[in-house]
Copies of this chain bind each other. A is one copy, B any other.
Amino acid sequence: MSFLAELDASRGFRVEVLAIGDELLDGRVADTNTLRLALALADLGLKISQRTTVTDDIDAIVREAKAVAARGTQLCVVSGGLGPTRDDVTSEAFAELAGVGMVRDEAQMRRIEERLARRGRPMTENQRKQADRPKGAELIPNPNGTAPGFALRHGGCVFVSTPGVPSEFDAMIANDVVAPLKRRAAPIEKRSLYCFGVTEGEVDARLAPLAELCPSVRVGFRAHIPEIHVSLSAPAQEIGALEKALGFTREQLGVAVFTEDKEPFAKVILDALKKHGATLTVAESCTGGLIGDLLTDIPGSSEVFLGGFVAYGNELKEAALAVPKGLMVDGGVVSEPVVLAMADGAAKVTGATYAIAVSGIAGPGGGSEEKPVGTTCMALIGPKIREARTMRWPFDRRRNKMVSAYAALDLLRRTL
């Protein structure tokens, strides 16, 4: 894109976002585009300084676009308001800002017509409007949707306008903002470590020395409950410092790191089982099927995950898993002997190499003084292991279930 050609990411410049749409301010939609844009720009060493969100209102768009340029912004990513409805006024607003008329792009109009024809829809005047853009603006093709975007320069700022639909926004930003800027950006190197079994506070404390140890490395972390994702980044010429920081981080976080390849937690476990030629079954009480759900979200999980039991009621624990009734009466259903028996039962029925079992009190009811809400027993049995653990989580029902599912799978991960 020629408008972006003069921007040199390696020197840095001010970037803003102008998000347009009633739906962003009336409680319908959370703007997640800025999130992904920020991460993409961080790889170029660029930051977003400000975001302005306005309704589909020409005056507001013009006023705020002027203010964006007046603040010395050199790149403003504009999203939303390019669709076929009467509410969509972004193109008109930017024509007004630039003091130009609108032109209709015949090639785009034919493309829109073809897309509609394929879905058996008629071409209406509203649809045609999507082929219009301010005179002098550059076209930005939309590979994932109908409405193209445009770029124009006003008052020292390049405005790049794209639809707000995330899949369309992401593709157009990647093709026509990030790719051209990358050619001149100072390359950034990045490492990611995904962890389970440490809190955000612990990660913060353990990695605090990095600020002095490797000052050129930027450390970020983000809680994806119950995971913590740590990222380290540095200019490419500081690769030595980055590797040093990576070594320090690995040392500090140890076995809590389950992947450095951004793989889902469940996939790491399935891959490890595959490597060992092993299979898995689960017997879930309080997690209610969540462990199975996590595992089966991974394509190809059926190769090693044989399935399992949602042994929610005691009858099913007895009937399907042959857990002795006496065991449940003696120590209660949430006890280490019971989860071991559940795992034994599941392994026996399925013939799996490893079996995991979980039983706990997810809350909000069902707690007692001896076994308060959050108390969870989990077991792992396998060729060289027979282990049970009891944890007590302080969370709500959903989060207690989620962390129980992770902790049970983590027993297996650490064993493999």
Contact = CB atoms under 8 A, between A and B. Distances in A.
Contact of A31 (B31, B282, B297, B401): B31
Interface in A356-385: 362-365
A413 interface: no
A148 interface: no
Nearest to A281: B316
Interface stretch (A36-44, A110-118, A237-245): A36-44
Interface residues of A, number: 72
B296 A288 contact: yes
B319 A350 contact: yes
A359 B293 CA distance: 14
A311 interface: yes
Contacts of A313: 302, 305-307, 350
Given A52-B50, A309-B307, A312-B307, A28 B299 contact: no
A402 to B, nearest CB: 10
A52 B52 contact: yes
B31 A299 contact: no
A32 interface: yes
Contacts of A27: 35-39, 42
A50 B25 contact: yes
Interface in A294-332: 295-297, 299-302, 305-313, 315-316, 319-320
B297 A288 contact: yes
Interface string A19-57: 000001111111110111111001000011111111100
A12 interface: no
B297 A306 contact: no
A265 B364 CA distance: 19
Contacts of A289: 284, 288-293, 295-296, 308, 310
A289 B305 CA distance: 12
Nearest to A57: B49
Given A27-B36, A28-B222, A320 B309 contact: yes
Copies in the assembly, this chain: 2
A154 interface: no
Contacts of A26: 38, 42, 47-48, 220
B50 A297 contact: no
Contacts of A351: 315
A59 to B, nearest CB: 11
A25 B53 contact: no
B28 A30 contact: no
Most B CB within 10 A of own CB, among A32, A52, A55, A363: A52
A50 B54 CA distance: 5
A306 B296 contact: no
B39 A50 contact: no
Nearest to A300: B365
A288 B299 contact: no
Interface of A: 24-32, 34-39, 42, 47-55, 60, 64, 67, 220, 222, 281-282, 284-293, 295-297, 299-302, 305-313, 315-316, 319-320, 349-351, 362-365, 397-398, 401
25 contacts: A24-B34, A24-B51, A25-B49, A26-B38, A30-B35, A50-B54, A50-B64, A52-B52, A52-B53, A288-B289, A288-B293, A288-B296, A290-B292, A290-B296, A293-B293, A296-B312, A297-B397, A299-B363, A301-B312, A306-B316, A307-B313, A309-B310, A309-B320, A319-B349, A319-B350
Given A308-B312, A315-B350, 18 more contacts: A25-B34, A25-B38, A25-B49, A27-B36, A30-B31, A49-B55, A50-B60, A50-B64, A284-B289, A285-B307, A289-B290, A289-B291, A289-B310, A292-B312, A299-B397, A306-B313, A309-B320, A313-B350
